[in-house]
């Protein structure tokens, strides 16, 4: 399994428009963050987690020629705002793109991209084959994927576990039952917006606590806001087995 972080930033990305803070003005490429997304390569399968407003740029930057499926964590725009750009993969496949998400996310997609589901569809609209998932494991070919519910304030968000890897974004609470489902995970991508308490995202310390509780071998912090601080400085503060993700970071196990 190879995981590539396509985007490691929060909903506004980094730099933030019109912001003059040291992070947004940084020349370090690791401080330039597109909206959160990841790519998982397993054998000949390529899975993309989330398709936000930077989806097109992320696909071009990573040289992606085709995708097996998209896994969507939830319906916020920074996670589904780029779905119109799957049209390129429709052309490659000469057919629909498989998308896996919960019912609530499907409902929002159907509303936001109503032209893709209309009785009369204009030629060239995105073609989506949406598979509604719940908390039951599902399979894409030989790959078993376990959806795990985490909470983004009051909004349920889907985390994904594949074997000993888990991807958790937009969370600030994980129930005891969901923590049980994460036991045995050795590699994890988990969100932490900043160091200060936030209404709907883990702080850096809270994310570190989750990693420690689960005895994760190696963890990567994503969905990072400009308030977190400079990548180079924050990285020096972290435990050895935890690091800030950055765009195009890639690791395999």
Judge contact between 6 and 38, C-beta under 8 A.
yes
- What is the number of structural domains in the chain? 1
Output the domain CATH number for residue 95: 3.60.15.10
Per-residue pLDDT, averaged over 94-111, amounts to 98
- pLDDT digits 0-9 by tens, 124-170: 999 999 999 999 999 999 999 999 999 999 999 999 999 999 999 99
Residue 51 domain boundaries: 2-252
How sure is the predictor about 189, in pLDDT bands with cuts at 50, 70 and 90?
A: very high
- pLDDT digits 0-9 by tens, 59-79: 999 999 999 999 999 999 999
Residues 6+ apart with CB under 8 A from 96: 90, 127, 128, 129
Per-residue pLDDT, averaged over 220-225, amounts to 98
For the entire predicted model, the pTM comes to 0.97
Question: Burial, 155: exposed, middle or buried (Cβ in 10 Å; 0-12, 13-18, 19+)?
Answer: middle
Helix (H) or strand (E) holding 159: strand 155-162
Give CA separation, 141 vs 68, 69, 95, 181, 212, in Å.
10, 11, 18, 22, 32
Per-residue pLDDT, 60: 98
How sure is the predictor about 94, in pLDDT bands with cuts at 50, 70 and 90?
A: very high
124 φ/ψ sector (left φ>0, alpha ψ -120 to 50, else beta): left
């Amino acid at each position: 399994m190879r995981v590539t972080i396509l985007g490691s930033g929060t909903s506004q990305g980094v730099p933030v428009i019109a912001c003059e803070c040291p992070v947004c003005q940084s020349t370090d490429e690791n401080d330039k963050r597109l909206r959160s997304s990841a790519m998982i390569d397993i054998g000949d399968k390529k899975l993309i987690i989330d398709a936000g407003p930077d989806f097109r740029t992320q696909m071009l930057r990573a040289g992606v020629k085709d995708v097996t499926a998209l896994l969507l964590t939830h319906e916020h725009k920074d996670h589904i705002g780029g779905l119109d750009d799957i049209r390129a993969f429709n052309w490659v496949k000469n057919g629909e793109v498989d998308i896996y998400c919960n019912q609530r996310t499907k409902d929002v997609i159907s509303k936001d991209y109503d032209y893709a589901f209309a009785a009369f569809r204009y030629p060239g609209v995105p073609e989506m084959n949406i598979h509604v998932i719940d908390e039951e494991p599902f399979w894409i070919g030989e790959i078993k994927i376990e959806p795990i519910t985490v909470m983004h304030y009051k909004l349920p968000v889907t985390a994904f576990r594949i074997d000993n890897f888990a991807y958790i974004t937009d969370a600030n609470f994980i129930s005891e039952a969901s923590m049980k489902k994460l036991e045995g995970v050795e590699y994890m991508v988990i969100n932490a917006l900043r160091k200060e308490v936030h209404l709907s995202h883990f702080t850096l310390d809270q994310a570190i606590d989750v990693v420690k509780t689960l005895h994760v071998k190696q963890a990567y912090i994503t969905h990072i806001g400009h308030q977190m601080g400079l990548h180079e400085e924050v990285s020096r503060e972290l435990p050895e087995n935890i690091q800030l993700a950055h765009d195009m970071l890639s690791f395999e196990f």
